[in-house]
Structure 1
Amino acid sequence: MPTPSPSSAAIAGFTGEETRVLAALIDVIIPEDEDAGGWDGGVARLLREHAQDFMAWAVAPLKIAVADAETEAREKFGVGCADLDHRERRSVVEALAERESVTEQPATGVMGGLDREAAAPIAALKQVAFEGYYGNTSEPAGWAVANFRPLPEGVTPVDPDPPAGVRPESLARHYDVVVVGAGAGGGVVAAELAENGRNVLVVERAREHRTGDLRTNHLQGKREQDYDTTAGPGPGSPRVLELADGTVSVARSDRNGLAYGLVAMTLGGGTRLWQAMSWRFFPEDFRMAAEYGTPEASTLADWPISYDDLAPYYDRVEWELGVSGDGRGVLGARTPRTREYPMPPLPSDSTREVLEGSAARLGWRSTAIPYAINSVPRDGRAACVRCPQCIGHACPVDAKNGTHNTFLPRALATGRTDLIMASQVVEIVHDGRGRASGVRLITETGSGPVESTVRADVVVVSAGALETPRLLLASGLGNDWVGRNHHSHAGAYALATRPPDGAKTDLGPGHSVATLDFVHRDHEGWGGGVLYDSGPPYPLARAIGAGRNPATAYGAAHKAAMRRRSLPLGAMSMVQEIPHEFTRITLDPALRDRHGMPALRARYAAHPASQEAADYMKTHARRWVEEAGGRDVVALAGAGMPQGSEHSAGTARFGTDPASAACDVRGLLFGTDNVYVADASLHPTNGGFNPGLTVMANALRIGRLLTER
């Protein structure tokens, strides 16, 4: 096999000769065959474009790998590594890898991935090879090897113009309402208020993104989370994570995004990048404490409203957002409704057919998953094209529905709504007696940050269950329940390492079929949760998984494993996470963000009941996969994400009494006259489902109450 011939330009941080050796080593990990090798197939471009920013971590361990390989090659063969043939270079890498496995195990980070700060040289070499070849920031050669096409043939992506925002100098001096955050809650509230005659300012922290910025990047996508995510806050926004065992760590916003927290920061928030599952909570989800009792050390409480109170708003959101599903069968029986979904469910596929069959043999009922995705053209936007990268990415044809393309455009169309982007509210200005007069915000502009103070009659905080309590606490507002009860979902997972051929497809959205038979079944498993097929892994995740197997760790065997088309078949569940007395969002006493605002400190401990619920669902996930023909099934179960997920909830929960809640039934913050919360922070519990539809329905209810204020 020929020696790689990289371009004459050296990689930043490497000499020309070091670059030549590095190219040779990368092509041992992913050799050239009928497809390009690792270096020309994406790694060279990744390092040339990013070795001075998010790939800078790799320079030091790669330089060590290069030096070690040179020493080994000269001692063993008498010439430099780049001048060896492929077989000889592979023997050099094998020797270094064997030595590394004995003396220095590759370090893992907070979430179990490679700890880039402490990566051993060959572990770093493999990671960079896989990231460049299978997860580069556009279409690398490895996608063809893995038979992954980001768009179906013949589909042309669209890139709608973002809504027009205002600059700081164009802000009005006074608004009826300022809404902090343009996600699931804020977008809905803004539309309801503006369409009912209120003058509204929507303040969104995220910088402006086009659709093209938020898709086909498998290193900085919201779900991949390997680096500073495109839909993140950018540098200078640290968080502190404190675990029950006393471990304290600082998560930087410009490093491993998953360790920072799985929450999208873009116009529309999570609803722009979500997979768009749109479940209603069950009636029992609103009365968990009454149904199951309050476990020791938990802060479990019932909602102050019932399913019947929220049902009309569920109905409105399903139609105004646009949800596809089948409400006549299982869903109609368990979540009573007055009319069908506005669109039929997404078409079936091989995964749904296989798992529907295994569910029926087990005596379980199953249903197509309801999605906020157009199954037919609607409102001037296309139907879903079933692309394979829905999870964590913007929709290439604008068929995925979120507040960014439904409620927010309606608010702006009234002429009574201003939107300001790249703006962080750092303080709610108030008189110290519970009356807010407006907000202080800092806007990032091309010439630097600009501070503004905007007056308003009402402030609605919809910044998410992590940032909402942070802002309230930093402003000195609210009672002792602000920041408490942080929870998301526990989860269970079962995966067949030997799946039946063709059972799993990579057609979008990625999940297809669910059973609800273990949601509030005979008071088992703390309410259980929805059980559905697991999503197909993207090529980078598949490559890293193959890299952990000694037989397919790298080389031709690795490439052969990536060419095999059989995708893993699995089932997964989310279940009620029981809020815990220890778990809390507070302000760090010392650490500040780039605007001088106190950093968020997340303290976390899993309640034993959450693990019980996850274990309960793990059993059923395994049964479903095995009945479908899966073999060598691996099953896992665990509590929620300590650093916060897109399902975070509970940190300003509402109730009837300030002795046990932060907000009243209207979302009004106790102790204030005109500060409201309208996001998942209000949820006393979070159901056994994706909470997005519930966030929007409750926000619509709060918006309606505000219009009657």
Structure 2
Amino acid sequence: MTTPKKFSLNDDSVVVIVGSGAGGGTLANELAQKGINCVILEAGKHYTQADIDNDEWGMFNKISWLDKRISAGGWHHTKTYPGLPAWIVKGVGGSSVHWAGLALRFQPHEFKTRSTYGEQAGTQVMDWPVDYAEMAPFYDLAEKKLGVTGSAASGLPMLPENNHYKVIAAGARKIGYKNIVRPMAINSQAYQHRPGCQQIGFCMQGCKIGAKWSTLYADIPEALGTGKVELRPQSMALRIEHDAQGKATGVLYADKNGKQHFQKARIVCVAGNSIESPRLLLNSASSMFRDGLANSSGQVGRNYMNHATAAAASIYEKPVYMYRGTSLAAVVADEARHDASRGFNGGYYLEGLSLGLPFMAAFMQPGGWGRDFTSAIDLYDHMTCVWVCGEDQAMADNRITLHATEKDQYGLPVPVVTKTYTANDDRLASHGLKQWRALSEAVGAKRVIDMPPYPASHNMGTNRMSEKARDGVVNRHGQAHDIKNLFVSDGSQFTSSGACNPTLTIVALAIRQAGFIENAMKRRDL
């Protein structure tokens, strides 16, 4: 393996990428394969396969981003999780370490929500400046990279059907559902130098053997192997600097000892998730950019989306053992369509998502106890579990802001995550819970328990794409409208959330963005 190159802090020819998850890690590898030098600044530690345990609670405490954040607004998290609005990873690989592996594509109408739904009072619903036809070939490339089961691009067969799948699928068919899918970025057999899944379970917080795709053990090692990339873990980006013409010149960051360094750059790509990315831009305010970098529109931090969600557990007479096998089983896609006759815009997936026992205990009744709770948790091995994952509409006041006085360990203002659900969100989630109950009871569930939604793991928007600079932060390539050599490379560039898990789309956008950057560099436009 090629020894990774060490770049000088004064090397202004490199692309500096902030974050190493699905967006940043993929972008770094794609650029490296094209011969482009990159420096990755990752705030978290560099974990290895040896650090991953089949203990989801232990892994939560090891890898989660637990720096202080504040939940605000009208959502349930202000009471249930006031200091943990988001459930994501602080470490190399980012939240590609923590995900169930579901790799769904946006539907065509989800790129064009304004055109499809019309004007929605109180929202900022807007069409993406790209459409499904343009994204389709990049979805193919992403599915091939990730090894998505059932995809023609990868050629991988489906994973085995565990008990959790069989119970949910049987209930779905009994109430008339037909579209039960499982496009998983978990190898069903050896693929891309990664082993096939061994069905050992408890893998949402990291895959012990590496069968589930993550940039941690896929794209990052490949990128380092080119000799074109330097990875700097425990390097927290503090601000992006610019010159007198407004061009980004590099990133100021703090290392693990708190010492500050400035890495010069030809191009800066921000891929720190939908909380940290706008936070970095807002913290980079200057006399030229008084409201934050790339924020002439006032849209940085706005339109935060995390899906309209709900959760429930169903208890059966006999054991199900939902935890045996991959964390995510059957996915019922029949309700993902847009059908306004149901009383809401957009759609949702019923995702059979098993939770480990500690998570189930923590999430079923946060902070509570009592007979209802204990009688349910005693039957953990008799449960099935669902996560309703539906489209969340963009609202300007759902946003990331900086706390006026409270600072974190880096001396940066603590981010405040403000979120209030719309009536559309509430109707969608209620419909999903009703359908789950019908599905479960159709196959003999004796008890169905609605649960409060978990902390957000699908974080989108806050630096959205727009055709016109006044409406968003970046253009159709993730390039800042205001600053030519500044890019956003993560889910914060999403214009709408769609109903599907965002990872596949983040990867597809990163592949597409890498091609744009390469061509622009060749033309000397960047």
Structure 1 length as normaliser, TM-score?
Answer: 0.67
The residue correspondences of 1:111-122 to structure 2 (distance < 5 A) are none
Alpha-carbon separation, structure 2, partners of 1:707 and 1:552 = 55
Amino acid at match of 2:165: R
Whether 1:527 and 2:346 are equivalent positions in the alignment is yes
Structure 2 partner of 1:511: 328
Whether 1:377 and 2:190 are equivalent positions in the alignment is yes
Whether 1:177 and 2:15 are equivalent positions in the alignment is yes
1:419 to 231, 235, 249: 231
Tell me, yes or no, if the aligned pair for 1:424 and 1:443 is still in contact at 8 Å.
yes
Amino acid at match of 1:492: A
The residue correspondences of 1:77-116 to structure 2 (distance < 5 A) are none
Tell me, yes or no, if the aligned pair for 1:366 and 1:516 is still in contact at 8 Å.
yes
Whether 1:486 and 2:304 are equivalent positions in the alignment is yes
The residue correspondences of 1:260-275 to structure 2 (distance < 5 A) are 261-275=86-100
Tell me, yes or no, if the aligned pair for 1:465 and 1:681 is still in contact at 8 Å.
yes
Q: Deviations 1:110-153 (Å, cap 9, x if unpaired)?
A: xxxxxxxxxxxxxxxxxxxxxxxxxxxxxxxxxxxxxxxxxxxx
Alpha-carbon separation, structure 2, partners of 1:543 and 1:674 = 44
2:425 to 604, 610, 630: 610
Q: Deviations 1:357-380 (Å, cap 9, x if unpaired)?
A: 332232211334111111101233
The residue correspondences of 1:429-508 to structure 2 (distance < 5 A) are 429-431=241-243, 433-444=245-256, 448-476=257-285, 477-479=293-295, 480-497=298-315, 499-508=316-325
Structure 2 partner of 1:409: 221
Q: CA deviation at 1:561?
A: 7.5
Alpha-carbon separation, structure 1, partners of 2:97 and 2:78 = 32
Tell me, yes or no, if the aligned pair for 1:295 and 1:609 is still in contact at 8 Å.
no
SS for the counterpart of 2:92 is coil
Q: Call closer, same or farther: CA 1:257–1:203 in 2, change over 3 Å.
A: farther
Please report the RMSD computed on the Cα atoms of aligned residues, expressed in angstroms: 3.0
Alpha-carbon separation, structure 1, partners of 2:218 and 2:48 = 16
Amino acid at match of 1:630: A
Q: Deviations 1:307-333 (Å, cap 9, x if unpaired)?
A: 111111111111122222x35xxxxxx
Amino acid at match of 1:272: V
Alpha-carbon separation, structure 2, partners of 1:380 and 1:180 = 26
Whether 1:201 and 2:28 are equivalent positions in the alignment is no
Q: CA deviation at 1:675?
A: 0.5
Structure 2 partner of 1:240: 70
Larger radius of gyration, structure 1 or 2?
1
Tell me, yes or no, if the aligned pair for 1:313 and 1:700 is still in contact at 8 Å.
yes
Higher relative contact order structure (alpha carbons within 8 Å, sequence separation ≥ 6): 2
Alpha-carbon separation, structure 1, partners of 2:416 and 2:162 = 44
Amino acid at match of 2:142: V
2:470 to 644, 655, 659: 659
SS for the counterpart of 2:348 is coil
Q: Call closer, same or farther: CA 1:164–1:230 in 2, change over 3 Å.
A: farther
2:115 to 265, 282, 290: 290
Q: Deviations 1:604-630 (Å, cap 9, x if unpaired)?
A: 222221112112222211111111211
Tell me, yes or no, if the aligned pair for 1:618 and 1:637 is still in contact at 8 Å.
no
Tell me, yes or no, if the aligned pair for 1:373 and 1:400 is still in contact at 8 Å.
yes
Q: Deviations 1:279-308 (Å, cap 9, x if unpaired)?
A: 111111111121112321111111111111
Alpha-carbon separation, structure 2, partners of 1:172 and 1:385 = 46
Amino acid at match of 1:462: A
Whether 1:278 and 2:103 are equivalent positions in the alignment is yes
SS for the counterpart of 1:609 is helix
Alpha-carbon separation, structure 2, partners of 1:577 and 1:460 = 26
Q: CA deviation at 1:504?
A: 4.6
- Name whichever structure is richer in helix by fraction: 1
Structure 1 partner of 2:51: 213
Amino acid at match of 2:237: V
Structure 2 partner of 1:103: none
Alpha-carbon separation, structure 1, partners of 2:75 and 2:311 = 25
Structure 1 partner of 2:391: 576
Structure 2 partner of 1:315: 140
Q: CA deviation at 1:528?
A: 1.4
> Sequence identity, in percent?
26
Structure 1 partner of 2:505: 694
Tell me, yes or no, if the aligned pair for 1:264 and 1:646 is still in contact at 8 Å.
no
Whether 1:396 and 2:234 are equivalent positions in the alignment is no
Structure 2: any 5+ residue segments left out of the alignment? 286-292, 521-526
